Amino acid sequence: MDIELHFDEGRWLKVEKDWSAWWAGETDRSMVMLQTLDTLVNADPSEFSIDFLQHKPSAEVIQYYGARLETVEFYGDAFPKWLPYTGPGIVSGFLGGPVKPSIEHRTVWFQVEKPVPYDELHLNYDPDNIWWRRILELTGTAADTWGDKVALGYTDMGGPVDNLASFRTTDRLLYDLYDYPDEVTRCTGDLTQAWLRYHDEISRIVMRTGRGTLCWTPLLSPGRMYMLQCDFSAMISPKMFEKFVLHDLTVMCDHLDYTFYHLDGPDAIRHLDILLSIKSLRGIQWIPGSGNPGPSQWLPLLKKIREGGKLCQVYVNAKGALAIARELGCSGFAFYILPEEPYTDTELNEYFDLLANPGDFLNAILSESKGKRG
Amino acid sequence: MTMVIKLLEEGKAPEVILNEALIPALDEVGELYQKGEYFLPEMLIASRAAQRGIDILRPKLIEKGIKATGKAVMGTVKGDMHDLGKNLVVMTLEGAGFEVIDVGANASPDKFIKAIREHKPQVVGLSALLSTTMPSMKETIDTIKKAGLRDNVKIIVGGAPITQKFADEIGADFYGTDAVAGKDFARSVVAVP
């Protein structure tokens, strides 16, 4: 089945070249991603549904998402992409954890009701798990159907410590760091190895497109990439981060080709020095968090990330991207242009105006790149 | 817990152990937490230890007719299953000598109303971790008003997406940036120094 995208081979060659240069630090300009919202074709309120993704034939799922992709316009360094999504951190599900969709809140809960005892926790790669088989099937069907027209991404796998919280509950895991430190280390080690195995298997499929890889943040990478995370770490000290997170994170960075770290909210900033010390970690994504000022209000933090030798990606509105570019330079930044909270009428209207006429903004940010280094 | 038992065996009065040992110890933990030296695991471990001590003291305090410092109803609002923040506030308040009625997570406004009517707390605490469940906080406060109970309680709100601005907009009395701030406010409501 063919797919008719607003994106031709010439544009593919350019984005692949430009993204590769960005990863290698061989360009002074920032990467800028801007795309129109996909139109829901035959909009179905149950679209975000585990049943939809589990029981519908994969060909129908891919056809549905293909039709949506065909409505999208891609600007700047944006490109056609897709990944199967069954919630944030599905590796828990791959290993037998609960998978509970909430259509009302458009998310999936993974946590058990009661902590699983450590003597029952053996978190090893399971090739027969139904969620794992489904992700393989959907990703494979997408690769077979769309060929090299769409870049495919890794499903949202979460991180080992967050995955462990799914089996122990977040509350209990906070106590476990003191009550059962050796068990925590054992389980996160096993989870890391399982996680990497799942990632390797998905890599074999997504790389068939020949378009590189991406994940839920679309940083197109010429090799195996991922946005690593430990949301749990917002609740612990740097000393605990060093004890329970750093080793496995480094193993993951060393194993993959292109890694970023999802730095989520002000409480995660305390771990930045440790993150900057990981040589094989390529970049940091900064997410200010709901209720906090947008990325352009965090210039010292962004500067520290760049001066620490890491690439930096943010979700930011057009004004914010220009502000960052003017103050810190463009080199090493990737701006995904979206409206910022609060979603006032002004904010949303400016975003829709930008989508209707992106040329001035794209030229403005390109001109910031000329002759400047970040 | 071992220390509490030892002090009781030495003849120390239960209210002395509570007011001169457990509560000051938890206050110190709270200060270290607010300074950014202690974090959630340390707060939880300390609160658990204090709670176990209080469980031993409680029957002895009741026997002596010593009442709780105050009473609070705590819950995570409707639609939100997160309860870690709420649980920490519950333990912190209990560590400060409060009797806490925990209405749990995903608590409807009616659940809060029922608890307020039954237990007559001085303080009601609402927790939310999702920006999508923040409207439930307003709904809960509005329901408390409609039930004619608003003037009977002081309402604290807290959680990751909550801001002072939001707290003011929905008519809360206090925005708790963390469990310790919430405890300090609750103490001020019942006029404990």
Structure tokens at A373: 């280094």
Residues of B in contact with A105 (CB under 8 A): 79, 130, 132
Q: What is the per-residue pLDDT for A286? A: 98
Hey, is the C-beta of A290 within 8 angstroms of any chain B C-beta?
A: yes
Q: What is the per-residue pLDDT for A374? A: 43
Q: Which of A114-123, A245-254, B126-135 has the lowest mean pLDDT?
A: B126-135
Residues of A in contact with B81 (CB under 8 A): 109
Q: What would the mean pLDDT of B33-40 be, rounded to a whole number?
A: 92
pLDDT band at A49 (very low <50, low <70, confident <90, very high): low
Residue in the block written with tokens 């406060």: B141
A289-308 core/surface letters (b: 16 or more CB in 10 A; e: else):
bbbbebbbebeebbbbbbee
Structure tokens at B9: 């065996």
> What span, in angstroms and rounded, lies between the C-alpha atoms of A235 and B89?
15
Spans of all domains in chain B: 1-66, 69-193
CA distance A277 to chain B (A): 22
Q: What is the per-residue pLDDT for A112? A: 85
Going by C-alpha positions, the residue among A274, A320, A281, A278 that lies closest to residue A299 is A320
> Which helix (H) or strand (E) element contains residue A336?
strand A333-337
Hey, is the C-beta of A345 within 8 angstroms of any chain B C-beta?
A: no
Q: What is the per-residue pLDDT for A44? A: 60
Asked if residues B141 and B113 have their Cβ atoms less than 8 Å apart, the reply is: no
Answer yes or no: do A171 and B83 touch at CB < 8 A: yes
Answer yes or no: do B163 and A240 touch at CB < 8 A: no
Q: Residue A252 pLDDT more than 90?
A: yes
pLDDT band at A8 (very low <50, low <70, confident <90, very high): very high
Scanning every residue of chain A, which has its alpha carbon at the shortest distance from the alpha carbon of B81? A109
CA distance B78 to chain A (A): 12
> What span, in angstroms and rounded, lies between the C-alpha atoms of A87 and A68?
20
Asked if residues A176 and A110 have their Cβ atoms less than 8 Å apart, the reply is: no
Cα–chain-centroid distance for residue B160? 17
**Which of A100, A102, A105, A243 best probes binding to B when mutated, by most B CB atoms within 10 angstroms?**
A105
Scanning every residue of chain A, which has its alpha carbon at the shortest distance from the alpha carbon of B85? A171
Q: What would the mean pLDDT of A300-311 be, rounded to a whole number?
A: 98
> What span, in angstroms and rounded, lies between the C-alpha atoms of A237 and A156?
26
**Which is higher by pLDDT, A43 or A4?**
A4
pLDDT band at A373 (very low <50, low <70, confident <90, very high): very low
CA distance B176 to chain A (A): 15
Cα–chain-centroid distance for residue A119? 32
Residues of B near A (CB-CB distance < 8 A)?
Answer: 36, 38-42, 44-45, 48, 79, 81, 83-84, 87, 130-132, 160-163, 166
Q: Which of A12-21, A194-203, B72-81 has the lowest mean pLDDT?
A: B72-81
Going by C-alpha positions, the residue among A193, A191, A280, A271 that lies closest to residue A236 is A271
Pairing between β-strand A31-35 and β-strand A74-76 as defined by DSSP bridges? antiparallel
Asked if residues A161 and A232 have their Cβ atoms less than 8 Å apart, the reply is: yes
**Which of B40, B82, B90 best probes binding to A when mutated, by most A CB atoms within 10 angstroms?**
B40
Q: What angle do CA B40, B43, B47 make, to 5 degrees?
A: 140
> What span, in angstroms and rounded, lies between the C-alpha atoms of B175 and B161?
11
Q: Residue A40 pLDDT more than 70?
A: no
Residues of B in contact with A237 (CB under 8 A): 38-39, 41-42
Residues of A in contact with B41 (CB under 8 A): 174-175, 177-178, 235-237, 240
The CATH class for the domain spanning B69-193 reads alpha beta
Asked if residues A308 and A317 have their Cβ atoms less than 8 Å apart, the reply is: no
Q: Residue A109 pLDDT more than 90?
A: no
**Which of A235, A242, A344 best probes binding to B when mutated, by most B CB atoms within 10 angstroms?**
A235
CA distance A179 to chain B (A): 9
- Spell out the long-range contacts of B148-152 with Cβ–Cβ below 8 A and sequence spacing 24 or more: B149/B113, B149/B116, B149/B117, B152/B116, B152/B120
Asked if residues A213 and A206 have their Cβ atoms less than 8 Å apart, the reply is: yes
Residues of B in contact with A342 (CB under 8 A): none
**Which residues of A, range 162-221, sit inside 8 Å of B by Cβ?**
170-171, 174-175, 177-178
Determine the 3-state secondary structure of A329 from DSSP.
coil
Q: Amino acid identity, residue B67?
A: K
- Looking at residue B127, the DSSP 8-state letter turns out to be E
**Which of B33, B38, B39, B44 best probes binding to A when mutated, by most A CB atoms within 10 angstroms?**
B39
pLDDT tens per residue across span B118-158: 999 999 999 998 888 999 999 999 999 999 999 999 999 99
> Which helix (H) or strand (E) element contains residue A283?
strand A283-287
Residues of A in contact with B79 (CB under 8 A): 104-105
Closest Cβ opposite residue B39 in set A236, A265, A291:
A236
Residues of B in contact with A291 (CB under 8 A): 131, 160-163, 166
Residues of A in contact with B87 (CB under 8 A): 171
Q: What share of chain A in percent tops pLDDT 90?
A: 82
Q: What is the per-residue pLDDT for A100? A: 81
Q: Is residue A319 classed exposed, middle or buried when 0-12, 13-18 and 19+ CB atoms within 10 A define those classes?
A: middle
Residues of A in contact with B39 (CB under 8 A): 235-237, 240
Query: A310: Cβ–Cβ under 8 A, 6 or more apart, which residues?
Result: A275, A276, A281, A282, A283, A284, A332
Answer yes or no: do B39 and A235 touch at CB < 8 A: yes
Structure tokens at A42: 């035959």
Dihedral of alpha carbons B18, B21, B26, B27, sign: positive
Answer yes or no: do B40 and A105 touch at CB < 8 A: no
CA distance A79 to chain B (A): 30
Answer yes or no: do A174 and B48 touch at CB < 8 A: no
Largest pairwise CA distance in chain B: 53
CA distance A172 to chain B (A): 10
Q: What is the per-residue pLDDT for A56? A: 84
Determine the 3-state secondary structure of A214 from DSSP.
strand
> What span, in angstroms and rounded, lies between the C-alpha atoms of A56 and A54?
6
